[in-house]
Structure 1
Amino acid sequence: MKPFILHHYANSPFSEKVRLILGAKGMAWHSVHVPSVMPKPDVLALTGGYRRTPFMQRGADIWCDTSLIARVLDRAQPQPPLYPAGVAGITQTLAQWADFTLFWAVIPYTLQPQGLTHVMAGVPPEGLKAFAADRAPFTAGMTRQTAADATVALKAYLGRLEDQLADGRAFLCGAQPSIADFSVAHCLWFIHLAPPMLGILQPCERLRAWYERVIAVGHGTPTIMKSADAIARAASTSTHEPVQVEPGLGFEVGESVTVTPTDYGRDPVVGVLVGLSDDEVVIERRDERAGTLHVHFPRLGFQIRKEAKT
C-alpha cells in the first residue's frame, strides 16, 4: 500500500497534530506543502472547495478534517492505538474540546502583537494583510474572544490540564499517548511559535513536562512531494476505498449533495453521495486534472444538504 500524502504547511497547528500522530505511529508519508492563503488551485482540484489545512490523500481518496484523518491513520496502523481500550470515549471527548474550545482560546492569546511578530516572522506587511483578508471569511459569524478574555480562559484551561496530570500519569488519559494528547499538544505547539507568550505555561510544571514527552514522538519519515505529482497520483488511480450508503440515514446513494463544515471555513463541496454512516460522509466528484475523486468528511461537525433539483 502506498504511503499517505499529507497536504499541509509548516505553521499550521492542525497539521502539527497529524504530523505528531504520524510520528507516534512511526509511519512513512509524503509531504505536500500547500499555500497558507488563497489562491490554492491544486488544493481545490483535490478537495472541490474545502480549503482548511491539512487534508490527507491516498490515490484518488481525499480525507478532510483531522478527526477523520486520525481515525483513518489508526485503522491503517493500529499500534500504538490512538483510542486505547477503556478510555476511548474520554480521549475523543477531550480531543474534541481541545480542537475547538482550547484552540479558540490559544489563537487570540498567541496572536497578540507581541506574539504575532514571531508567528509571522519574515512575512512582509502585504503578506500579513493577505493572511488577515483570507482568514476573515473563515470565522464570519463566530464570536471571537478578545485577547483579554482568551487569556483568562486559557489560564483556566491550562490549570485544568495541569490537574489532570497530578496523579503522576505520563499522558492525559493514562500511561500511553492518545488522540487527546495530540489534540491538546498542537494547541500548545502554536504558543511555542511565539516565545514571548510562553509565560502563561510557566506555572504548569507537569504540563510542560508532558508537552516535551508528546513532542518527542517526532513526525515519522516524510518524503517531499510536489502538489502536481499528488494530482497526477490521483488522476492515475482508478480505484477507491470501499464505502457504502447505510440505510435509514435520510440520504440515498447517487444523490447530489453539498457537504459543509458547521463551525468555520464553511466552504461547501458539491458531489454525488457514495458513502454515508454515522461516522463519515463520502462524495464523488470529477476534476479535469485530478480525475474522479472520493472526498471523505467526518459526519460530526459537517452538514449534508441535498442539492435542489432544477
Structure 2
Amino acid sequence: MVLQNIVLFHHDPSPYGERIRKCFGLQNIPWKSCLVPMVMPRPAMTILSGGYRKIPVMQYGADIYCDTRLISQKINNLFNDLKLFSHGTLQNSALQSQSDQIFRSGAILSLIENKEYIPPEVVEDRMSFFTFINQKTAEKELNHHQSQFKKYAMDIDELLRENDFILGLQPNWADICCYANIFMAKGNIPSSFEWMKKLKNIDSWYQNLMSYGEGIREEISSQEALEIAKTSTPDLSNINHQNSDDENMPQPGDNVKVTPDDYGQISVQGELICVNLDEIVVTNETKEAGAIAIHFPRLGFIVEKII
C-alpha cells in the first residue's frame, strides 16, 4: 500500500476535518482530498462508510476509518515521527473528550449567531443531526454556551503560559483537538472575536500551529476514491483479534450494527471481524468498491448483534 492512497472525506469549514488536516501538516504528509457537501447526500462516502455520516472519514486503500479518535491513531502508527501521543495517551484522550464536549457549545453558537447567513437546508440538517440542540431553548441559552466556550479558551491560554504547546515542548493530539475548536471560534463564533484577541498565549500557539499547514494536498473525485478501494484489499493483518471477556459481546462472524453513542446515531451494518478494547471492525461487500473494512474506535460506539 502506498501512502499516497490516504484519502480524506471532508469539507473545509469542519473543525473535525481540521483536526486531521493538521495531523497531515505536522509531518507534511501527502494525502488525497475528497470534498463532500456540508449536507447529505454524499454517495461515495456513504458507500465506503456503510452509511456513517460524521465528518471526516479517512480511507486507506480498502480500509475505512471513522471518528477522529481512531483516525489520529492510524496516522500516528503510519508515521513514526509524528508522535501525536508522546505526552501520554490518557492526557491526550482527556483533552480530546473535553474538546468534544465544548464543541457542542461551539456548534450551537455557530448555528445561532450565523443563522441568517447559513443556507436554510444546512440549518435544518444540523438542527436534526445535532441531537444535543434543543431547538425550543437554544437561543435562550446563548449566554451559557458563550460562557462555557470562553472558560475553555481561558483554560487553554493558562496551560500555554509555561510551554509552547499544551502538554509540553512539541505538538500533541491534545493541541490539535483544542486548536480545532479555536479554529471554529475564529471563523464562526462572532461573540468570541473581541475577547479572543486578549488571549495572547493562545494567539501565538494558534499561529504556530497554523504555520504547519495541512500537508501535501491533492484533490480527487469521489469516483477516484471508489476506484482506489476497488483496486485494494482490506488489510486485517495487524488487527488485535483478542475480544472482550464479556460473553454477551458479539463474536467474529456475527452480523452486527455499530452506532455512535452521542449524536448522528446512524447505524452501520456488517460482518464483525473483531471487537476489542480499542477498535471495532466490520466488513462489507459493495458493488461499487468491492470488499471494504470499516473501523471504529471502541470508545464512543455501541456494537450490537443483529438477530
One-letter amino acid of the structure 2 residue matched with residue 245 of structure 1 = H
Name the counterpart of 2:63: 61
Name the counterpart of 1:102: 102
> Aligned equivalents of 1:174 and 1:84: distance in 2?
10
Match of 2:15 among 13, 16, 37: 13
| Alpha-carbon displacement from aligned partner over 1:54-86 (angstroms, at most 9, x marks no partner) | 10001110000001000000000021310014x
Q: Is 1:291 aligned with 2:268?
A: no
One-letter amino acid of the structure 1 residue matched with residue 74 of structure 2 = V
> Aligned equivalents of 1:227 and 1:293: distance in 2?
16
> Aligned equivalents of 2:190 and 2:121: distance in 1?
24
Name the counterpart of 2:46: 44
Secondary structure at the residue paired with 1:251? Answer: coil
Q: Is 1:150 aligned with 2:141?
A: no
| Alpha-carbon displacement from aligned partner over 1:77-112 (angstroms, at most 9, x marks no partner) | 021310014x332122112211x2221122223334
Structure 1: runs of 5 or more not aligned: 121-127
Comparing 243-252 with 148-157, which one deviates more in the overlay? Answer: 243-252
The structure-2 alpha-carbon separation of the partners of 1:38 and 1:195, relative to structure 1 and needing over 3 Å to count, comes to: closer
> Aligned equivalents of 2:153 and 2:198: distance in 1?
9
Match of 1:134 among 101, 125, 146: 125
One-letter amino acid of the structure 1 residue matched with residue 20 of structure 2 = V
Q: Equivalences for 1:224-235 in 2 at 5 Å?
A: 224-235=219-230
Match of 1:199 among 187, 194, 202: 194
TM-score (norm 2): 0.91
Instruction: Tell me, yes or no, if the aligned pair for 1:272 and 1:284 is still in contact at 8 Å.
Output: yes
Instruction: Tell me, yes or no, if the aligned pair for 2:234 and 2:293 is still in contact at 8 Å.
Output: no
One-letter amino acid of the structure 2 residue matched with residue 107 of structure 1 = A
Q: Percent same amino acid at aligned positions? A: 27
RMSD: 1.8
Name the counterpart of 2:160: 165
Match of 1:246 among 237, 242, 245: 242
The structure-2 alpha-carbon separation of the partners of 1:56 and 1:89, relative to structure 1 and needing over 3 Å to count, comes to: same
Instruction: Tell me, yes or no, if the aligned pair for 1:279 and 1:300 is still in contact at 8 Å.
Output: yes
Instruction: Tell me, yes or no, if the aligned pair for 1:83 and 1:92 is still in contact at 8 Å.
Output: no
TM-score (norm 1): 0.90
Secondary structure at the residue paired with 1:171? Answer: coil
One-letter amino acid of the structure 1 residue matched with residue 8 of structure 2 = L
| Alpha-carbon displacement from aligned partner over 1:239-282 (angstroms, at most 9, x marks no partner) | 42323532324231100110000001100000000122201000
The structure-2 alpha-carbon separation of the partners of 1:24 and 1:132, relative to structure 1 and needing over 3 Å to count, comes to: same
Name the counterpart of 2:182: 188
